[in-house]
Structure 1
Amino acid sequence: MSLGRLPEHEQHILDEIERSLRRDRRLNRLLRGRRARRGPDLKRFAARMTRRGPRGRTVALLVVLSVALAVTGLVTAAPWAIWTFAVVWPVVVFMGFRLLSRWSGDAGPPDGR
C-alpha cells in the first residue's frame, strides 16, 4: 500500500464526502454526544431487558438450574446451594409470570389506559 498522496480524482471524491459529513447535523450531534465509557452501561442494559420480555428458553434453563440447586441443597445440605437457590428462584418466578403474561396477550387494563 502506498503512503503517498491520493490521485487527484480520488482526493476530490474524499473531500466531497468529508464536506457532506460535516454538513450532517444528526451525525455531528451523535458524535458530540458520545462519551468515553470504561465499562458496560448497566442502565441501558436494564432498560433494554425490561422492555423485552423473557424468552421461553431462558426461563426453562433457569427452572432446570433451580431444580438442580434445590436437589443439591436438599441432598448435601450445602449452604452455597441453598443460598444460590434462594437467589435464583424469585428471579425464575418473576420471569415466568412475565412470560406467561406476554403469552396470554395481556397488554394492560381493558379500557386502554
Structure 2
Amino acid sequence: MTTGRLSDDERRVLAEMERALRRDRRLDRRLRTLRWRPGLSRLASCTPHPLAVALLLAVSVALMVAGIITSAPAVIWAFAAVWPLTLYAAFRLLCRWTEP
C-alpha cells in the first residue's frame, strides 16, 4: 500500500462522505452517547419519555391541588418529593428537543 497523497477525485469522494455522515442526526446522537463523559453516570445522560413527563406532571398537579384542599402533611410531602423530579424530567426533555 502506498502512502502518497489522495487524488482530487478521492478527496472529493471523501468530502462528500464526510458531509453525508455529518448530516445523519441519528448517527451523531449514537456517537455522542458512546463517548465517555467524566463525572456523569449513564443514568444522568438518559432522557425521559414524553409520556413519563406528562404522567409526572399530572401526578404533581393532582398532589398540589389535593395538598391545597386538604392541607394534609403527607400529601404536601408527597408533592415536595415528586415536583423536583417532574422539573428535572421536563428540563431534560426540553434539552433533548432543542439540541441541534
Q: Tell me the TM-score normalised to structure 1 length.
A: 0.50
Deviations, residues 43-91 of structure 1 (Å, cap 9, x unaligned) = xxxx443232111000000000000000000001111110010111011
Q: Which residue of 1 aligns with 2:74?
A: 80
Query: What is residue 48 of structure 2 aligned with on the other side?
Result: 54
Give CA-to-partner distance per residue, 1:16-54, whole Å, 9 cap, x none.
Answer: xxxxxxxxxxxxxxxxxxxxxxxxxxxxxxx44323211
* Alpha-carbon distance in structure 1 between the residues aligned to 2:46 and 2:92: 10
For the residues of structure 2 that align with 1:96 and 1:88, how far apart are their CA atoms?
Answer: 12
Structure number with larger C-alpha Rg: 1
AA aligned to 1:84 is A
Corresponding residue for 1:100? 94
SS of aligned partner of 1:54: coil
- Amino acid in structure 2 at the alignment position of 1:79: P
Greater fraction of residues in helix:
2
Alignment of 1:1-113 (within 5 A): 47-105=41-99
1:97 positional shift: 0.6
Percentage of pairs with the same residue: 47
Q: CA RMSD in A?
A: 1.7
Can you give the 5+ residue segments of structure 1 that lack an aligned partner in the other structure? Answer: 1-46, 107-113
Q: Whole-Å Cα distance in 2 between the matches of residues 93 and 70 of structure 1? A: 14
Q: Which amino acid aligns with 1:49?
A: L
